[in-house]
Amino acid sequence: MSAFSPLDPLLHSQLRLAVMSLLIGLDEAEFTFLKGQTQSTAGNLSVQLDKLEKAGYIEVTKSFRGKRPLTTCKITQEGVSAFESYVENLKKYIE
């Protein structure tokens, strides 16, 4: 049996993992889409997106659509690498 690789604690959070799982297959996603898909509160999602952004895993862009604020998120290459590594390490736990 091989040694288990540590799981990235940043991605081990259910909400952050859900966000990364959604963003890995999209060019970008709006805050409202992520909120609906994850069924999280706006406040909790905002905090978790901030953590992912500070880690360099996502880019958050704030703009306006008409007079309404619009927040969009996009996964970075660093985020893709971290997510793929997390999944590979998790597979080792399952095998």
What number of other Cβ atoms are within 10 A of residue 5's Cβ?
Answer: 14
pLDDT in tens, 34-71: 999 999 999 999 999 999 999 999 999 999 999 999 99
Q: Which positions ≥6 away from 95 have C-beta within 8 Å?
A: none
Sign of CA dihedral 20, 22, 24, 29: negative
Angle at 38 between CA 37 and CA 39, to 5 degrees: 95
* Confidence (pLDDT) at 2: 61
The whole domain housing 70 covers 14-89
CA atoms within 13 A on the CB side of 86: 20
Which CATH number is 76's domain given? 1.10.10.10
What mean pLDDT do residues 26-34 have? 97
Does residue 55 sit within a domain? yes
67 assigned to some structural domain: yes
Q: Considering the entire predicted model, what is its pTM? A: 0.91
In a domain, 84, yes or no: yes
pLDDT in the model for residue 83: 97
**Buried/exposed code over 66-90 (b: 16+ C-beta within 10 A; e: otherwise):** eeeeebbbebbeebeebbeebeeeb
Question: What is the tens place of the pLDDT at every residue in 86-95?
Answer: 999 999 888 7
Residue 88, both tokens: 């590979």
For residue 32, pLDDT over 60 is answered with: yes
Is 80 contained in some domain?
Answer: yes
Domains: count for the chain: 1
